[in-house]
A and B are shown apart, each in its own frame.
Chain A
Amino acid sequence: MSLNAETAAETAGLRRSIDLSRPIFGLLALALCVLVILPIFWLAVYSLQNDAGEWTFENFVILATDPTILRAFGLALLMALGVGILATAIAAPMAWLAARTDLPCRSGVRILVTASFVTPPFLGAIAWEILAAPNSGIINGIYRWLFGLEADAYFVNIYSFPGLIFAIACYTFPYVFTLVANALERVPSDLEDASAILGASQLTTLRKIVLPMVMPAMLAGSLIAVLQALTMFGTPAILALPAGFHVITTKIWSLFQFPPQPGLAAAAALPLLLITVILLRGQKWFLGRKGYTVIGGKSGSARITNLGVWKWPAFAFVAFILSLAVVFPYAALLKAAVTTNIGEPLSFASLTWQNFNFVFFEFDATRLAIWNTLVLGISTACIVTILVVVISYLVVRKSFPGSSILGFLATAPVAIPGIVLGVGLFLSYANPVLMLYGTLWILLIAFITIEMPAGYQQISSSLSGMHPEVEEASRILGASRLTTLRRITAPLLKTSVIAAWCFVFIGTIRELSATILLTIANTKLVSVIIYDLNESGNLGAIAVLGLTLLVVSFAVVIIAHRVPLIARG
């Protein structure tokens, strides 16, 4: 027997490490580049070209000199700042009350905040139209009736700059609330005990210990609220346009109306992208400062402050805010759904199914839109979930050097505002080579890109919480890589996979900012139909569609929260 043959026999069963992850990595990196970098690339190219396709800075010159665009930028920044301040001013005290005091109905408060969170902002804006439009608004009707005023008198006008700030803040304050409430719950009681034993009163402790510790979370939450307001399309389109002014998102959209000026739109989108990136950097900086993390794990739970005589005034404050954000708007939508004329008082005689009938049976466009929305919602949720599971696995398990680039690409879209992505995708795919404009495909691409970061964060965080030894224990006991994935990894990830799917689905069915630039008559979605119906003033139909959207969203949120219970049994 030759020496070679002997070595071959001896080493039978040895495996050169063939890396399947390498080709998968290549494919994924390519796909993510197409999703993320391509639209930004075309945005940059178009912004530097004129209609004839020549290279020029013309668009940026117009951008810097056209007063209507500058005004739109200025108003957008002012609006976003106003939203940030208002949202923080109401959410921070509410978070403290809900997390650290004996406020009555604290769990009820949390549920209503969640409801505000789930409400699509454009739907809230429409509800506030029903409530506070100067002529037809319910509040102004009651006001006139109470004081016997003329038909043109009004108490509040939602079609105004303050009205716009208010309507956006109603649906962005939950970002501040959630971050601050979580931070407050993580401040362990012994830190406060340490302050108290050194002689500080409760108020001093709150001011000197608790507040500084939650400050980064509060600032980070405010920045998110600012960012949401700045990049929002629906609410400004519904409230600012009738008031006669533009913010930057509606201005970009108007540049696509006839005659279209894609180059200028691209140029206007780039500063918005830049501001978003800067704000997100700021948010990361606030949250990432080491000094603010609580050191040591075994500390008591958060201490509850006794409100004493302030209990009921505090409750009234919280109830008032939540009524404005959730209770009144929902009531207005409900009323609009079951009556034909929103102005008239509610009575049994005026109840009607007509709006439901119209939406679900008479109006063709809504049935198509509901179908399109479901198809896109489900397919986006499935594709994103699969994508982020594979990406997270490669990144978290560090399959090989460089895999972290995938994580970066998967989170990058978080910095791309919907309207900017809409412009970028329009420019990338509305050309003779890739004629995807007007199909559901371009919407699918948009939604995958928009929803990927949230899904990725969900899956990768639960995967990094899973010790690799859990998988290795299965391997060494005799299970192959695939068996281990099937019997150990998959069951352990099940909960967060379902949660990720649900959140992607909800995010998709309410998307409007990118959608508005990418749909045509055949590819309308529920959100766009609601926007269209608002233009034509059909509030009853909107209310029915809006409530349908809400019911579906809440059902999915409840499923997502229930999952851990199911998984256990």
Chain B
Amino acid sequence: MAFLELANLTKRYGAAVVVNGVNLAIDQGKLVCLLGPSGCGKTTTLRLIAGFAVPDGGEIRVGSRVISKAGAAKPPERRNMSMIFQSYALWPHMTVFENVAYGLRLRRLAEADITKQVGAILDVTKLGALAQRYPGELSGGQQQRVSLARALVVKPQILLLDEPLSNLDANLREEIRFEIRSLHDQYRYTTVYVTHDQTEAMTTADVIVVMNQGAIDQIGSPEDIYKRPLSEFVARFIGGTNIFRGANAGNDHVSADGVVLQCGSGEFGPSGETAVSIRHHDVKLSETQPDFTSNVASAMVERQIYLGSHRDYLVRLQTGATVRVVSDVAVDIPAGRQVWLYFPPEHCRALAR
């Protein structure tokens, strides 16, 4: 039985439906990422779980006890959760030690226990030497680790993270990303992590929940989401892809943009329209015509960029549509040259949505 359940959860702000009938079950100890573009309702969902917002419909249950339902919610302070905020929300008038000790003091622990536990978590987050500093005296990465320590030290039932890395620069982001995952492996708190960054989601999550326009589009492991997208939105949002839109020609074939594509996987639309997705690096580029009857198109190189580990091509089909191809550096064809594209069927995925 799932530990944290969202059942038909709905939230409106005025006429806008921000969260629209979300159903989600999260098992104990899992790290789930809510992933989606800004305005998709992921942060509102998180705030509903935290109890900062009251739903307009549906329920939130923890261990089968209802904690939120339409018009009523258990206040955040009685949910035994903790949260890491986008702005870190460190209290500037308290030292690092006092910030981290705050939650334990509220739980009326003995001062000796507080010192011990805070000391332990500060060591884990490499902040031991900074205990007596004020937040204003720390770098961005250190502040982020204080907010991690402050959230973890209270041993929450559920840990919530709201875009925790968006204020850090690229190097730190990568470092803390792995740190969050390793802390999760260590403590195994049930965690909900909100982000718009797919790399962040793929590094940290057990399960990724892709959200779009207030609703869940797809739930799955990072590999599911990347390799087996169910919709055009997910295929485009995770990893980037070429989309062909065309008519279902029967027998796993789709004809689009003057190309007949045999699809190795996916679901076809019930009638007519079907989209086909193929990742940039799965398209094969050559100057000679490949020896296949379908999944082949002739095109012209419009632009080529050398990126060290690979080359990034933009090629134009005869119909005018463009295709992006990522190829090995060895494939070096200058712009303006006629080329052949091959779309291997095992990488062509039909998308019903």
Stretch with Cβ within 8 A of B (4 or more), from A59-67, A351-359, A472-480, A497-505: A472-480
Inter-subunit contact B93/A478 (CB<8 Å): no
Residue B30 lies at the interface, judged by CB distance under 8 Å to chain A: no
A-B interface contact total, Cβ < 8 Å: 93
Residues of chain A at interface, number, CB under 8 A: 26
A472-511 to B contact mask, C-beta < 8 Å, 1/0: 1111111111010001100110000000000000000000
Whole-angstrom CA separation of A16 from B71 in the bound complex: 6
Q: Which among B65, B78, B89 is the interface contact of A473 at CB below 8 angstroms?
A: B89
Inter-subunit contact B74/A13 (CB<8 Å): yes
Inter-subunit contact A470/B74 (CB<8 Å): no
A7 to chain B, nearest CB (A): 8
Inter-subunit contact A14/B72 (CB<8 Å): yes
Inter-subunit contact B75/A472 (CB<8 Å): no
Inter-subunit contact A488/B74 (CB<8 Å): no
Inter-subunit contact A488/B91 (CB<8 Å): yes
Residue A290 lies at the interface, judged by CB distance under 8 Å to chain B: no
Whole-angstrom CA separation of A11 from B73 in the bound complex: 9
A10/B89 contact (C-beta < 8 A), A16-B72, A480-B77 known: no
Residue B102 lies at the interface, judged by CB distance under 8 Å to chain A: yes
Residues of B within 8 A of A491 (CB): 93
Inter-subunit contact B154/A14 (CB<8 Å): no
Residues of B within 8 A of A298 (CB): none
A480/B75 contact (C-beta < 8 A), A469-B85, A488-B91 known: yes
A472/B103 contact (C-beta < 8 A), A477-B154, A492-B93 known: no
Which residues of B in the span 29-65 have a Cβ within 8 Å of any Cβ on A? 50-52, 54, 65
A241 to chain B, nearest CB (A): 53
Q: Which among B67, B73, B81 is the interface contact of A476 at CB below 8 angstroms?
A: B81
A483 to chain B, nearest CB (A): 7
Residue A431 lies at the interface, judged by CB distance under 8 Å to chain B: no
A564 to chain B, nearest CB (A): 11
Residues of B within 8 A of A492 (CB): 91-93
Whole-angstrom CA separation of A13 from B79 in the bound complex: 10
Which residues of A in the span 487-537 have a Cβ within 8 Å of any Cβ on B? 487-488, 491-492
Residues of A within 8 A of B72 (CB): 11, 14-17
Q: Which among B69, B86, B106 is the interface contact of A479 at CB below 8 angstroms?
A: B106
Residue B316 lies at the interface, judged by CB distance under 8 Å to chain A: no
B169 to chain A, nearest CB (A): 13
Residues of B within 8 A of A473 (CB): 83, 85, 89-91, 147, 150
Residues of B within 8 A of A289 (CB): none
- Looking at chain B, what size class is its interface with the partner chain? 35 or more
- Of all chain A residues, the one with the shortest Cβ separation from B76 is A475
Inter-subunit contact A475/B68 (CB<8 Å): no
B322 to chain A, nearest CB (A): 35
Whole-angstrom CA separation of A156 from B78 in the bound complex: 75
Q: Which among A14, A470, A472, A567 is the interface contact of B69 at CB below 8 angstroms?
A: A14
Whole-angstrom CA separation of A13 from B72 in the bound complex: 10
Inter-subunit contact B52/A475 (CB<8 Å): yes
Residue B107 lies at the interface, judged by CB distance under 8 Å to chain A: yes
Most chain B beta-carbon neighbours within 10 Å: one of A11, A17, A473: A473
Residues of B within 8 A of A470 (CB): 87, 89-91
Inter-subunit contact A17/B73 (CB<8 Å): yes
- Of all chain A residues, the one with the shortest Cβ separation from B107 is A478
Residues of A within 8 A of B86 (CB): 469
Whole-angstrom CA separation of A189 from B86 in the bound complex: 32
Residues of A within 8 A of B160 (CB): 476
Which residues of A in the span 445-483 have a Cβ within 8 Å of any Cβ on B? 467, 469-470, 472-481, 483
Residue B82 lies at the interface, judged by CB distance under 8 Å to chain A: yes
A477/B82 contact (C-beta < 8 A), A11-B66, A14-B68, A14-B69 known: yes
A567 to chain B, nearest CB (A): 8
A488 to chain B, nearest CB (A): 6
Most chain B beta-carbon neighbours within 10 Å: one of A472, A476, A478, A488: A476
Inter-subunit contact B77/A476 (CB<8 Å): yes
Q: Which among A11, A17, A477 is the interface contact of B102 at CB below 8 angstroms?
A: A477
Residues of B within 8 A of A487 (CB): 102
Residues of A within 8 A of B (CB): 10-11, 13-17, 467, 469-470, 472-481, 483, 487-488, 491-492, 567
Which A-B residue pairs are the 7 nearest by beta carbons? A477-B103, A469-B89, A473-B89, A469-B85, A475-B76, A14-B72, A476-B83
9 interchain pairs, CB-CB under 8 A? A17-B54, A469-B85, A469-B87, A470-B87, A470-B91, A476-B79, A477-B102, A478-B78, A479-B102
Residues of B within 8 A of A (CB): 50-52, 54, 65-69, 71-83, 85-87, 89-93, 102-103, 106-107, 147, 150-151, 154, 160
Known pairs A13-B78, A492-B92; list 10 more (Cβ under 8 Å): A11-B66, A467-B87, A470-B89, A472-B50, A472-B76, A473-B147, A474-B91, A475-B52, A477-B82, A567-B93
